[in-house]
Amino acid sequence: MKLTILLRLGTLALVCSLLTLASAQAPAPRPITVDDQFEIRDVTDAQITADGKWVAYVVSTASLKEDKNESRIWMIPATGGDPIALTAEDVSSEHPRWSPDGKFLAFTSKRGEGKPTSVFLLNRMGGEAQRLTDTVQDVDDFAWSPDSKRLVLVLRDPSPEEQEEAASKKPDSGSAASTAASDSKDKPKTPRPIVVDRFEYKADEIGYLDRRRAHLYLFDIATKAKTQITSGDYDDESPAWSPDGKSLAFSSNRSQPDPDRNYDSNIWVVAADNADKGAHLTQITTNPGSDEHPVWSPDGKWIAYVTQLEPKLAEYSTHHLAISPAAGGSAKVLTAALDRNVEHPQFAPDSRSIYFMADDDATIDICRISINGGEVTRPVPGRLIVASFTVGKTGELAAALSTSDRPNEIYTVTTGSPQRISHTNDAFLAQIKLSLPEYVKFKSKDGTTIAGFLYKPLDFVPGQKYPAILRPHGGPTWAYYAEFTHLAQLYAANGYVVLFPNPRGSTGYGQNFCKAIFADWGNKDFQDDMAMVDYAIAQGLVDPDKLGVGGWSYGGISTDFIIGQTTRFKAAISGAGSGEYVSMYGHDQYVKDYETELGRPWENRATWDRVAPFWKVGNITTPALFMGGEIDWNVPILGGEHMYQALKSLNRETELVVYPGEYHGFKTPSHLKDREERYLAWYAHYVKQDGSPARPPEQPKPEAQKPGRP
């Protein structure tokens, strides 16, 4: 008896010693750094098989060493287990979609020098992916037919350059023309003049828009035959097959005389065996606002879609869920009482209800509603954000979800709480100490309740006051959500209280809240942003003499407004902002939105000037850093140049940073790193006033990847 007790005590002592040793060896969690943004893997596009047994998803990585981004497709059992890499890591692959019979996975990838984006096919049992399409232009989108024998492709009309490239690759018997083309193929070609004749003629990441349009094509997998089934001077998108495979629904603005001038996209149906390129279509919806993203019910009776009922409000109008009879008829809006933006509708297997994503109170939830309307239920509880989800034929759900303390991972939902089945970022998160945000609510100047996320510094001590950074969000019709945010964590790790407000104009709080800033930018939203600063000061968290402000896109515009109306901030960073809009008219991509919200500038100049922070530039004494992408057509760098030049003229402290080759959303890892380092340096110098330089030290340019290097 005594011997047994002694043995047990000895074993217990050994276990305790091992645990103590392991604890001593495990490094303590550390604050997050600038470079840690490249350690975080973005997990998206959860796609469950029809039988509910497997989930495919995309993992995107950014390599600072190689200065490039890659996306790779993985597969994991729906019950959990080891993930399986389906695509190689040296080429990017995206948009995985299972065939309805579950045997194949199709995806898009750009493989081979000079090759367009193509659809590739992978047998689920293994083997190499095979290139399926061989078009001269990129495949923009695709969808499987119900019998798994065909695809519908979305292809933009080829450019003259793409047609010439295709013609030069055709086999020839040695004609003089062929020989001349061969001799000159390596010579640089003088670009053609850009001819513009459209009302909307610019788009970020595209540039000038011509008359090349996106249309639907049927693609037979066995024969690889391709047949065009829609045409015209319209863009066709979001194709969805009918359950019997005989028809396709899609969204298109075919209004007359000019679709560029309104938001009137509708749902249309075309026969899959159409031989006249869509000359005869069935129009399903007639709502003057946008009707988009159609999906058929499994029984073939209904088409669900996302609709906006008040086009005069542009993007301030709520996106609702609606259904129409598949043969045409009266539409029914299902979520009018919800008053929240919805997206990504998917029918339940029994056709009696519809799943969708809803933007609600700083979360994006998976919701469900009967086709007859009524109560909205939420099968996935908790404060989180859903990036994507799909529904299996037996009712299982797979989703990519993020929470405030964890980047996106893959979850499955059968009953009860979601079950996490991927662990892509676990190893990284185990090293990091995080600041968990508080979702706080406070009153604005006029008594309106406003909400936002407040992050405390990692070294927070109750009773101590800290410097703070106010970060207005972009949009303006967007919001901050209960999701993992590297930048907020980075600021908190550097000793700041971080304020992420959702002022009026934000989504998730109803249409009236959203439209409160319609044609009135920099007024109520300014009051709401200031209210969060005042709230944090009143809580005893923030030193009112150490405030910084800065945002991107509309967050940059808000920053310009803020520093023109108050001098309480010691530093400002305006990214991709704009101070004066008359010069932006026709220069950026928003001409339709400008005219809808503000009117024509020569007819309504007073409104244009009232919403332009540029005219208050004389009030600005805050040291201001302006930055943006060189080829951004969303909010062009011209907006930052205006503000910078004006402050420079006034001999104020200012700086302008332009990032070559960047659109509105930056992609180059070295530029992302540089931007965050400049954020920290600017705020440390002017807000903390710690004596550090206002610019980070110059970094050497990353060495390019050499051919043949592992």
pLDDT in tens, 475-489: 999 999 999 999 999
pLDDT in tens, 548-581: 999 999 999 999 999 999 999 999 999 999 999 9
Question: Which pLDDT score is estimated for 545?
Answer: 98
Nearest to 115 by CA among 73, 165, 168, 185: 165
Per-residue pLDDT, averaged over 143-154, amounts to 98
Per-residue pLDDT, averaged over 445-462, amounts to 97
pLDDT in tens, 171-186: 554 444 444 444 545 5
Phi, psi of 108 (to 5 degrees): -110, 145
For the chain, domains (ranges, CATH) are 433-688 (3.40.50.1820)
Per-residue pLDDT, averaged over 5-23, amounts to 41
pLDDT range class, residue 5, cuts 50, 70, 90: very low
Question: Which pLDDT score is estimated for 171?
Answer: 55
Percent of all residues in the chain with a pLDDT value above 90, rounded to a whole number: 84
H or E element at residue 640: helix 638-649
Per-residue pLDDT, averaged over 582-592, amounts to 96
Does the pLDDT value for residue 140 go beyond 50? yes
**Terminal-residue alpha carbon distance, the chain:** 63
Query: Which amino acid is located at 115 in the chain?
Result: K
pLDDT range class, residue 162, cuts 50, 70, 90: confident
Among 167-181, 221-235, 398-412, 536-550, where is mean pLDDT lowest?
A: 167-181
Query: Which amino acid is located at 674 in the chain?
Result: D
Label each residue of 386-409 as H, E or C. EEEEEECCCCCEEEEEEECCEEEE
Q: How far is residue 284 CA from its own chain's centroid?
A: 29
pLDDT range class, residue 89, cuts 50, 70, 90: confident
Does the pLDDT value for residue 187 go beyond 70? no
Question: Which pLDDT score is estimated for 6?
Answer: 35
Does the pLDDT value for residue 18 go beyond 50? no
pLDDT range class, residue 160, cuts 50, 70, 90: confident
pLDDT in tens, 38-64: 999 999 999 999 999 999 999 999 999
Q: Considering the chain, what is the average pLDDT of its residues?
A: 91
Burial 464-475 (b: 16+ CB within 10 A, else e): ebbbbbbbbbbb
Return all residues near 328 (Cβ < 8 A) that are at least 6 apart.
282, 283, 284
Whether residue 325 has a cis bond before it, omega within 30° of 0: no
Question: Which pLDDT score is estimated for 329?
Answer: 87
Does the pLDDT value for residue 17 go beyond 90? no
Does the pLDDT value for residue 2 go beyond 50? no
Question: Which pLDDT score is estimated for 261?
Answer: 95
Look at strands 542-552 and 291-296 and give their pairing. Answer: unpaired
pLDDT range class, residue 170, cuts 50, 70, 90: low
pLDDT in tens, 238-285: 999 999 999 999 999 999 999 999 999 999 999 998 878 888 899 999
Per-residue pLDDT, averaged over 131-154, amounts to 96
Does the pLDDT value for residue 322 go beyond 80? yes
